[in-house]
Amino acid sequence: MTRITRFCVTGLAVALGATACSTNAREAPLSATSTTPSETSSPVDPAGSSGERLVLSGFLAFGDFGGGARQEAVADAMERWVAAGHRVDALATTGDNVYETGDPRLFRRQLDQPYADLRKTRPLWVTLGNHDVAVGHGGAQLEHLGLPPLPYAKELPGVQLLFLDGNRVDEAQSRWLEDQLSRSGPPFRVVVFHQPAYSCGYHGSTDSVIEKWVPIFELHSVALVLNAHDHHYERFLSKSGVTYVVTGGGGRELYPYLPGCTGSDPAEQAGAMLHHFVGIEVRDRSLTLTAVADDDTVIDQTTIER
């Protein structure tokens, strides 16, 4: 099956500083993209029919949401994803969870209440964005959620998630990352932090991440890197098979972007200026990533094999 990708951005929209896709943009023709040996497409099978297609675990990823006008809408869409039969064992954020300055008085309103139903049986694992640490409340947020200081690791069947602090791309975290990835582990390693390795948006790619962390991701064939900071969706694929995703459409105002800023490596595979979340389902030898808009539209889907 050919993977279908929708780009919800136009030169005119960017020139005007548009912050959302119009109805016409949603109905625009789809543009197909090619696949590579390390990244192939297959139908979603949330029930896990049998054998190798059994879903071992799943989680949701989203970022840049705290107090946003569409936060509740994205949370509702995540609940519908679960109700449709998709496996979700945890929620993972890509940062900027509490706006504007990570104020602990807003934890209940921005972290707890919107995801209360989802969190009844699932943990919320977070990384911290620039807004979360703006005046020093990052540690309080992690403590509120019962999480250790960054960096930390979490594991689900078939996948390990490594949470870094993108606000400080330092040698200590580089050594920790190298140590974690050098150990034996599950087939899929997913790294989560806020400032994007690659982005064609307002903030753009992060030079310090490209210099210090990207070589580690590439050396160890990390399956997936999840970031935010730019308020839209983008997916890139490096020549060595590492997938980089910007998922910053969790509820705050959207940012415009211009596709193609990275050239051929990593090549941009998909993008959308829409509020969304990312659903990730892990099987024996594959990880399926589905980006879903707040109206349940599937805006991108790909399967990574290891």
Check residues 5 and 222 and name the one with the higher pLDDT: 222
pLDDT recorded at residue 53: 79
pLDDT recorded at residue 22: 33
pLDDT tops 60 at residue 34 = no
Record the tokens describing residue 223, joined without a space: 């399956």
Domain count, the chain: 1
198: domain CATH number? Answer: 3.60.21.10
pLDDT tops 90 at residue 302 = yes
Check residues 279 and 19 and name the one with the higher pLDDT: 279
pLDDT recorded at residue 39: 40
pLDDT recorded at residue 52: 52
Over the chain, what is the mean pLDDT? 87
**Percent above pLDDT 70 for the chain:** 83
Strands 224-227 and 188-192: parallel
Q: How buried is residue 54: exposed, middle or buried, by Cβ count under 10 Å (0-12/13-18/19+)?
A: middle
Separation of alpha carbons 23 and 13, rounded Å: 13
* Residues 70-93 pLDDT 10s: 999 999 999 999 999 999 999 999
pLDDT tops 50 at residue 21 = no
DSSP H stretches of helix in 62-165: 71-83, 107, 138-144
Is there a domain that residue 207 lies in?
Answer: yes
Is there a domain that residue 53 lies in?
Answer: no
Is there a domain that residue 298 lies in?
Answer: yes
Is there a domain that residue 278 lies in?
Answer: yes
* Residues 105-149 pLDDT 10s: 999 999 999 999 999 999 999 999 999 999 999 999 999 999 999
Separation of alpha carbons 251 and 291, rounded Å: 14
pLDDT tops 60 at residue 28 = no
Q: Which domain holds residue 204?
A: 4-21+61-305
**Percent above pLDDT 90 for the chain:** 81
pLDDT recorded at residue 257: 86
- The conformational region for residue 191 under phi > 0 = left, psi -120 to 50 = alpha, else beta, is beta
pLDDT tops 70 at residue 29 = no
Is there a domain that residue 276 lies in?
Answer: yes
Is there a domain that residue 150 lies in?
Answer: yes
Asked if residues 33 and 57 have their Cβ atoms less than 8 Å apart, the reply is: no
pLDDT recorded at residue 25: 33
Separation of alpha carbons 55 and 49, rounded Å: 9
pLDDT tops 90 at residue 243 = yes
**First-to-last C-alpha distance (Å) of the chain:** 19
pLDDT recorded at residue 2: 29
Is there a domain that residue 274 lies in?
Answer: yes
* Residues 148-187 pLDDT 10s: 999 999 999 999 999 999 999 999 999 999 999 999 999 9
Q: For 44-48, 111-115, 257-261, 291-295, which range has the lowest pLDDT when averaged over its residues? A: 44-48
pLDDT tops 60 at residue 259 = yes
Q: Please report the sign of the dihedral spanned by the C-alpha atoms of residue 249, residue 101, residue 200, residue 166.
A: negative
Give 200's DSSP letter: S
Is there a domain that residue 41 lies in?
Answer: no
